Each structure stands twice: as C-alpha cells, then as structure tokens.
Amino acid sequence: MNDIVPYRIDVPQTERDDLADRLDRTRWPDELPGAGWDYGIPLDRVRALADRWRHGYDWRRHEAELNEFPQFTTEIDGQRVHFLHVRSANPEALPLLLLHGWPGSVLEFHALIGRLAGDFHLVVPSLPGFGFSGPTAERGWDLHRIARALAELMTRLGYPRFGAHGGDWGSGVARALGGAVPERVVGVHVNYLPTPGPATGLTGTDRDRAERTAAFAANRPGYQVLQATRPQTISYALTDSPAGQLAWIAEKFTEWADPAAAISDDVLLTDVSIYWFTRTAGSSARLAKESGHGTPCPVPMGVAVLPHDIVLSVRPLAERLFDIRHWTELPRGGHFAALEVPVELAADIRAFFRSLVISSSP
C-alpha cells in the first residue's frame, strides 16, 4: 500500500466527446438588461468561455503541458494522492511542498517549478478531494487529515525535513503541517493569511484591513456558505453541467485576480477541465464543510501579501498568533499568486527559506 506509482494524465476521448455534447446542449439562463456583474458572472462572458472551450480550446495540448513534469500516485489513509515530484540537481536542496487551494489545482504551480527547482526538491500534490487525487470516499478529510497524509507522503519520498508553501486552502494545510509535525517543518510560507481580530489599537492601513476582514467574515459570500453547508446539493449541478462548473470557477478567477495580472482564458479552461474530467466539484467543496478553525503553527512563517487578494493580512495581528520572520507587500497580484505573479512569488519563497538557512547556520 506504500507503493509510489508513475502517473500520466490521459483523459479518454469518450470523456471529451461527452463534454462537447453537453456544451452543445447547454440550456442558457436569462439575464436582466444591463445587469453586468451585479447578479453574478455575466451571461455573455460565460457563453464566450463556453464557446472557446467547445471550439477553440485544445485539451490535448494543455494535457501534454501538464504531463511535462514527473507525476505519481500513492495511497495514504485509504485515499489516492496524486503529486508532481521534481528533484533539484542539488542533492542538498530543501524539499518543498507547494499546496494549492480552491478553485485551484497543481496547474497553478507550473510557472513556479522552473523558477524554484534549482533551490528545492519540489513536491506538488493534488489535495485529497481535488483533481487527479480524485474524490474523497469518507468523512473527515479536513485540513489536519490532509496535513497528516502529506507528512506521510514526504516520509515515503525520503524527506525527513521540509518546507511548505500555500495559498487559499493550501495556506491552511501548510500551517496545519507546521502544527502537526513542527520538528519536521523548517518553515511555512503563505500568500494568503486571514488575520481576524479587533481593530483596537490599529491605525491607518492595518485598521482598514482589519475592518475589511471583519466585514468579510460577517457577510460570507454565497459560494462559501453553500460549500460549507450544502456541498452535496450544489455538486449535482456542477458535475452534470459543464457550463455550471465553468461559471462557478470563472467568476472567482475574475473577482479574485488583479486586473493588471489577468489569467488567460486557456489557463482558466484547463483548471475548469481538471475539475470537470475528475468529477471533483463536490469533493473539493466538501473541504469547506469538513474543516473548522486552524491550529497554532509554531514554526517560522513568511507572508506575502498581494494587493488584490480577498482579504489582506494585518501584520500586528499575525504576530500575535505566529512566528513571523518574513513579510513582503508585493506591488501587484491577487488570490492566485502563482498564476498571476510567478516571478515575484518565486523570489519571495526563495528569500524566506534562504533566510531560515542562513539564520540557522553556525
């Protein structure tokens, strides 16, 4: 059961034909005149994306790009775990986990791998319940169980000590790893870190950010409420309708990204295709219902804050909870940092872990 098996993505033609047929038969909703984004993602935007997906997008080309890096699967705690594994030419390089969130996938990190492989042995898993790891099959796959599974994965790969980087759910998993096996985790770098807490005593930008975070928490967006309370109910529509799955994800890629660092439609469609072909709309949504509050992360932490993210971290509040060693305010970018600003993000990850190595040197 500890076997690590080489893996290659090869979506059957029957699946692609089924997708084409469903796109051709899409029953489109109406839309109020001049609605824009007031009621959700506009109809003309989704129709244009669906037309591209059906007639102009080449899955096989993007599938080949996804297969450029070595991939494997293994079974941990009864769950298949898919991952990329790219070893550095430097045998002494630090192993580093790169952890995606929702609605992301391993695709997020393709632009980072070439920029980081010289300094790190890279392990890039599809989180259980997401993408090529496939749906989870039982209750309890929360952030902490995922963290324990990934710690076991690093053991199987022969990495007793490692670092972790993540955004969105990947940030939570990275912090959970630091709490679960602090003796093994050198440090945790994140590009998303909600910092709830009172604005008392804060001024200027910090106060504005704290108030924005409090407002976000008090008025949770609809997608988050649905995924945290009724993931099974929404899974029927998302698994049966490619237009539904497309709209559900495309909205976030637009709203959460920096307009100046826009993500291409083909990257978006590849990400949506991964969710569609693996039927993981429901299981990825379940993570919001399974996961509660985080746990302390006692290991050194680095934080990159991107100006167009959903919420922006407040350093004084973060320092009350975590051992913050590194803090960067990047000039551009949003929630999908690895896709939007891979050069800047790679440099920040490298700087953080190099600072830990230097500071721990005799």
Query: What residues have CB less than 8 Å from 34, skipping those under 6 apart?
Result: none
Q: Rounded to 10 degrees, what is the CA torsion of 63, 166, 82, 234?
A: -80
Tell which residue, 260, 328, 356, 291, has the closest CA to residue 147: 291
Distance of alpha carbon 362 from the chain centroid: 36
The overall pTM is greater than 0.85 = yes
Please check whether residue 19 is in contact with residue 246, taking contact to mean a CB–CB distance below 8 angstroms: no
Place of tokens 């790679």: 346
The residues spanned by each domain of the chain are 40-360
Q: With a cut of 70, which residues of the chain have pLDDT below it?
A: 1, 293, 358-362
Tell me how far apart the alpha carbons of residues 299 and 236 are, in angstroms, rounded to a whole number. Answer: 40
SS3 annotation, 67-133: CCCCEEEEEECCEEEEEEEECCCCCCCEEEEEECCCCCCHHHHHHHHHHHCCCEEEEEEECCCCHHH
Per DSSP, the chain holds a count of helices (H) and strands (E) of 15, 9
DSSP output for 227-261? HHH-HHHHHHHHHH-HHHHHHHHHHHHHHTS-GGG
Tell me how far apart the alpha carbons of residues 347 and 17 are, in angstroms, rounded to a whole number. Answer: 42
Note the pLDDT of residue 362: 43
Tell me how far apart the alpha carbons of residues 193 and 330 are, in angstroms, rounded to a whole number. Answer: 14
Tell me how far apart the alpha carbons of residues 287 and 133 are, in angstroms, rounded to a whole number. Answer: 14
Please check whether residue 105 is in contact with residue 130, taking contact to mean a CB–CB distance below 8 angstroms: yes
Helix (H) or strand (E) holding 208: helix 204-218
Is residue 338 helix, strand or coil? helix
Whole-angstrom CA distances from 323 to 39, 68, 164, 298, 348 are: 41, 37, 15, 7, 17
Tell me how far apart the alpha carbons of residues 45 and 50 are, in angstroms, rounded to a whole number. Answer: 9
Tokens linked to 115: 């920029």
Place of tokens 């409090």: 214
Q: Indicate the residue type of 123.
A: V
- What's the CATH code, domain 40-360? 3.40.50.1820
Tell which residue, 165, 48, 147, 46, has the closest CA to residue 99: 165
Please check whether residue 81 is in contact with residue 133, taking contact to mean a CB–CB distance below 8 angstroms: yes
pLDDT tens string 300-326: 999 999 999 999 999 999 999 999 999
Note the pLDDT of residue 273: 98
Helix 265-278 with 13-24: angle, nearest 10 deg = 110
Q: Indicate the residue type of 177.
A: L
Note the pLDDT of residue 296: 85
Report which DSSP code applies to 300: E
